Amino acid sequence: MTTINLEQREQLIESIHGIVIGRWFLIVGLSILGVIQIVAGIAVISLTWWMFAVVVAVPVVYNSVYSFCLKRPSTQLSDRRLHILTFLQVLVDQVMFTVIIYVTGGVESVAYLLYFFPILSATILYSDLEIISFSILTTFWYSSVIVLEYNGIIPHLQRYSHDPGFVGNAEVTLANTLSITLIIVFTAMFSVFVNRIIHDRELQITVERDKVRSILNSLEDGIIILDNEKRVLLINPPARDMLRMYEDFVGPELIKDDFSESFAELIQVIRDQPKTKQLGQEVKVTEGEHSSHIQVDAIPIHAADGSIISWIKMLHDITREKELDSIKSDFISIAAHQLRTPLAALKWFFKIMLEGDAGEMTPQQQEFMEKAYTRNDEVIEIVNNLLDISEIEEGRFPYEFTEQDLTVVIEEIFKSVQIDAERCGVGVQFDRPSTSLPPIEIDKQKLRIAIQNLVDNAIKYSPKGSKVTITTRLKNNRYYVSIADQGIGIAKEDQPKIFSKFFRGKNAREKETTGSGLGLYIVKNIVQKHRGQIWFESEVGNGSTFYITLPVLRKYL
Give the strands of the sheet with 290-302, arranged side by side: 232-235, 222-227, 308-317, 290-302, 278-287
Contact call for residues 437 and 474 (beta carbons, < 8 A) = yes
Q: Measured between alpha carbons, how far is 301 from 279 in angstroms, rounded to an integer?
A: 14
Considering 393, 419, 446, which residue would you say is the last residue of a domain?
393
Question: How many residues belong to the chain?
Answer: 557
Which residues does 188 contact at the CB level (< 8 Å), separation at least 6? 119, 122, 131, 132, 134, 135, 138
Cβ count within 10 A of residue 459: 24
Contact call for residues 426 and 464 (beta carbons, < 8 A) = yes
Chain centroid to Cα 410, Å, comes to 44
φ, ψ for residue 298, nearest 5 deg = -105, 115
Neighbouring-strand partners of residue 284: 293
Domain check: are 127 and 168 in the same one? Answer: yes
Q: How many domains does the chain have?
A: 4
Domain check: are 388 and 482 in the same one? Answer: no
Considering 360, 393, 426, which residue would you say is the last residue of a domain?
393
Domain check: are 51 and 182 in the same one? Answer: yes
Domain check: are 16 and 120 in the same one? Answer: yes
> Buried b / exposed e across 143-175, counting CB within 10 Å, b at 16+?
eebbeebbeeeeebbbbeeeeeebbeeeeebee
Per-residue pLDDT of the chain (557 residues; tens, 9 = 90+): 555 666 677 788 888 888 999 989 999 988 888 888 777 766 656 777 888 888 889 999 998 998 888 887 766 777 788 888 888 888 999 999 999 888 888 888 888 888 899 988 888 888 888 888 888 999 999 999 888 888 888 888 877 766 677 777 788 888 888 988 899 889 888 988 888 888 888 788 778 877 877 777 777 788 888 888 888 888 888 888 888 776 655 456 777 667 778 888 888 888 888 888 888 888 888 877 778 888 888 888 888 787 888 888 888 888 887 777 676 666 666 666 666 667 777 777 777 777 777 777 778 877 777 777 777 776 777 777 666 666 666 555 677 888 888 899 999 999 988 888 888 899 999 998 888 888 888 888 889 888 988 998 899 888 888 999 999 998 888 899 999 999 889 888 888 888 887 787 877 777 776 666 778 888 888 898 888 899 999 988 889 999 999 988 877 65
* Closest to 479 measured CA to CA, from 401, 409, 418: 409
Residue 132 lies in a domain: yes
109 burial via Cβ count (<10 Å: 0-12, 13-18, 19+): buried
Show the domain range for 352: 322-393
Q: Measured between alpha carbons, how far is 273 from 310 in angstroms, rounded to an integer?
A: 9
**C-alpha to C-alpha distances, 383 to 7, 179, 354, 513, nearest whole angstrom:** 60, 98, 23, 17
Residue 427's pLDDT is: 92
Residue 279's pLDDT is: 81
DSSP 328-353: HHHHHHHHHHHHHHHHHHHHHHHHHH
State the angle between helix axes of 128-150 and 116-125 in degrees (0 to 180), rounded to the nearest 10: 160
Domain check: are 285 and 428 in the same one? Answer: no
Cβ count within 10 A of residue 2: 6
Q: Measured between alpha carbons, how far is 447 from 292 in angstroms, rounded to an integer?
A: 35
451 burial via Cβ count (<10 Å: 0-12, 13-18, 19+): buried
Residue 1 lies in a domain: no
CATH number at residue 428: 3.30.565.10
Cβ count within 10 A of residue 23: 21
pTM score = 0.47
Domain check: are 43 and 186 in the same one? Answer: yes
Coil vs helix vs strand at 110? coil
Beta strands in 349-411 (DSSP E): 402-404
Considering 296, 317, 338, which residue would you say is the last residue of a domain?
317
Question: From the DSSP assignment, how many helices (H) and strands (E) are in the chain?
Answer: 15, 12
Q: Measured between alpha carbons, how far is 337 from 343 in angstroms, rounded to an integer?
A: 10
Contact call for residues 244 and 222 (beta carbons, < 8 A) = no
Q: Measured between alpha carbons, how far is 496 from 535 in angstroms, rounded to an integer?
A: 11
CATH number at residue 257: 3.30.450.20
Domain check: are 51 and 76 in the same one? Answer: yes
* 3-state per-residue secondary structure call for 242-301: HCCCCCCCCCCECCHHHCCHHHHHHHHHHHCCCCCCEEEEEEEEEECCEEEEEEEEEEEE
